[in-house]
Amino acid sequence: MSAPRSHADGLDARVRLSRGTMDLDVPLTAEPGQVIGVLGPNGGGKTTTVLALAGVLALEEGHVRVGGDVWDDGRRRLAPERRRVGLMLADSLLFPHLRAVDNVAYGPRSRGVDHHRARERAHLELERVGLADRAASRPRELSSGQQARVALARALATDPALLLLDEPLAALDPDTRARTRSDLAARLTAYDGVTVIVTHDPLDALTLADHLVFVEDGRVTQSGTPAEVLSEPRSAYVGTVVGLNLYAGQGDSHGHVTTVKGGVVVTTSPTEGSVWATVPPSAVSLHLHEPEGSPRNAWRLRIASVTMQGQSARVGLVGELPLTAEVTLESVTALGLQVGQEVWAAVKATEVRTYPR
Ligand SMILES: Nc1ncnc2c1ncn2[C@@H]1O[C@H](COP(=O)(O)OP(=O)(O)OP(=O)(O)O)[C@@H](O)[C@H]1O
């Protein structure tokens, strides 16, 4: 029987360093085979974390241990080229004059593997990303999605214990992105090292990662499985990513939550004390007049934005309670919704969830 896998065999890191005005302190642990999705707003510290794991930036404190090897202990740092690490960025950074197979073989070659074995390995890695028949193509003869797959093959050709993907799909158009995302997911399933993927795209994170870590202003604001994060977001940014209206507030035993900005939300599932309250945008209905039958939640708000999304529209509302509503296109037309207009927004108390903050 094989020994159970643990963080000691995978990634065990606490990345502490300052960069400019940012003070970064990010713990990250993962078992072999796990995919960690790192998300966060611009400037939050995601790329800095990746650069520290790769060894490009030194830790000031903390540690990076991978597969039981110490890569950085805050005093001594293993050079990037001596780490078993694979890196893939938004720009695939392929050598334009080299064929795909030689681009992939470059990694093992630069680590001392002989020419023949490096090329053999490169062919195998190209086959694993579905590009066996494009080995002789140069980057300019490949589509953007194929170039991304060559970059992935190159990152994996050195048998990294840690694979770092920083916005790997960001440069692709939406169709190519969707296809490459599923190719990437398939390849990662067969990879037994730890993967850390930095992304802005919730879909990338939810489809590729089995654990999410949100980094905002140098700190982890939430971490958990996608299901945990989806059901209980714990920062305004996470709320936006998972597409829920999220309010911090104080709850009482009668189901009233007074939000920190002053608005009141009523729920049938009260939690007392410091709470988060969520309202799904699809649960918000909009009306020109005060809704009858007095729903427990009705606010008079002003429309700040209307964005079409397929067959529905997202309506941004401001006032005593900032709110996003998702309504049908028919409602937009029937109500004649326009930016600047005042409307009533109603939400059933049964649709409001609360949980401790
Ligand atoms: N070379 C640098 N010198 C000084 N400060 C820097 C440097 N690079 C980044 N920073 C600062 O470090 C912080 C984190 O940057 P980082 O690139 O890690 O963020 P990020 O989360 O990856 O953002 P983005 O999503 O925009 O790529 C930022 O506030 C930035 O101002």
Residues 65-69: what's their mean pLDDT?
94
What is the pLDDT at residue 15? Answer: 97
- Residue 222 reports pLDDT greater than 90: yes
CB of 84 within 6 A of ligand 1: the answer is: no
- Residue 234 reports pLDDT greater than 70: yes
Alpha-carbon separation of residue 42 from 27, 45, 48, 216 (angstroms): 19, 8, 12, 9
What is the amino acid identity at position 123? H
Alpha-carbon separation of residue 233 from 55, 57, 230 (angstroms): 32, 31, 6
Strands 323-328 and 312-318, bridge-based pairing: antiparallel
Q: What is the pLDDT of residues 101-139, one digit of tens each?
A: 999 999 899 888 999 999 999 999 999 999 999 999 999
What is the amino acid identity at position 162? L
Distance 32 CA to ligand 1 centre (A): 28
Q: Whats the size of the chain, residue-wise?
A: 357
Distance 44 CA to ligand 1 centre (A): 7
Residue pair 198/167 in contact (Cβ under 8 Å)? The answer is yes
| 174 and 31 belong to one structural domain | yes
CB of 168 within 6 A of ligand 1: the answer is: no
Type and span of the H or E element at 36: strand 35-39
CB of 219 within 6 A of ligand 1: the answer is: no
Residues 323-343: what's their mean pLDDT?
93
Give the best-scoring range by mean pLDDT among 4-13, 194-203, 288-297.
194-203
Query: What's the rounded Cα separation, in Å, for the pair 42 and 256?
Result: 34
| 192 and 254 belong to one structural domain | no
CB of 44 within 6 A of ligand 1: the answer is: yes
Share of the chain above pLDDT 90, in %: 76
Q: Which pLDDT band holds residue 252 (cuts at 50, 70, 90)? A: very high
What is the pLDDT at residue 1? Answer: 44
What is the pLDDT at residue 294? Answer: 64
CATH of the domain at 269: 2.40.50.100
> Is pLDDT larger for residue 175 or for residue 61?
61
| 30 and 169 belong to one structural domain | yes
- Residue 49 reports pLDDT greater than 50: yes
Residue in 303, 244, 246 with CA at minimum distance from that of residue 275? 246
Q: Which atom of ligand 1 is nearest to the CA of 49?
A: 18
Query: What's the rounded Cα separation, in Å, for the pair 165 and 163?
Result: 7
Last residue of a domain, one of 208, 236, 264: 236
Q: What is the pLDDT of residues 70-85, one digit of tens each?
A: 999 999 999 998 999 9
What is the pLDDT at residue 3? Answer: 53
| 251 and 230 belong to one structural domain | no
**Which domain, by its residues, includes 248?**
244-356
Alpha-carbon separation of residue 306 from 296, 309, 340 (angstroms): 25, 10, 10
- Residue 269 reports pLDDT greater than 90: no
What is the amino acid identity at position 267? T
Tell me which residue has tokens 């190209």.
126
Token digits of residue 56: 């490009």
| 207 and 270 belong to one structural domain | no
User: Lowest mean pLDDT: which of 33-37, 159-163, 289-293?
Assistant: 289-293
Please report the ipTM that was assigned to this predicted complex: 0.92
What one-character-per-residue DSSP string does 169-195 give? Answer: TTTS-HHHHHHHHHHHHHHHHT--SEE
10 Å Cβ neighbour count for 64?
25
| 126 and 93 belong to one structural domain | yes
Nearest CA, atom 13, ligand 1: 43
| 175 and 323 belong to one structural domain | no
CB of 42 within 6 A of ligand 1: the answer is: yes
Distance 154 CA to ligand 1 centre (A): 26
Q: What is the pLDDT of residues 272-307, one digit of tens each?
A: 999 999 999 999 999 999 988 766 899 999 999 999
Last residue of a domain, one of 218, 236, 254: 236
Distance 291 CA to ligand 1 centre (A): 47
The contacts of residue 350 (CB under 8 Å, 6+ apart) are: 268
Query: What's the rounded Cα separation, in Å, for the pair 69 and 8?
Result: 9
- Residue of 15, 17, 21, 22 with the most ligand 1 atoms within 8 Å of its CB, for mutation: 22
Distance 15 CA to ligand 1 centre (A): 14
Query: What's the rounded Cα separation, in Å, for the pair 50 and 165?
Result: 8
Residues 167-174: what's their mean pLDDT?
88
Residue pair 18/60 in contact (Cβ under 8 Å)? The answer is yes
Tell me the sheet residues that pair with 285.
346
- Residue 8 reports pLDDT greater than 80: no
CB of 199 within 6 A of ligand 1: the answer is: no
| 191 and 266 belong to one structural domain | no
Strands 35-39 and 211-216, bridge-based pairing: parallel
- Residue of 17, 19, 216 with the most ligand 1 atoms within 8 Å of its CB, for mutation: 19
CB of 43 within 6 A of ligand 1: the answer is: yes
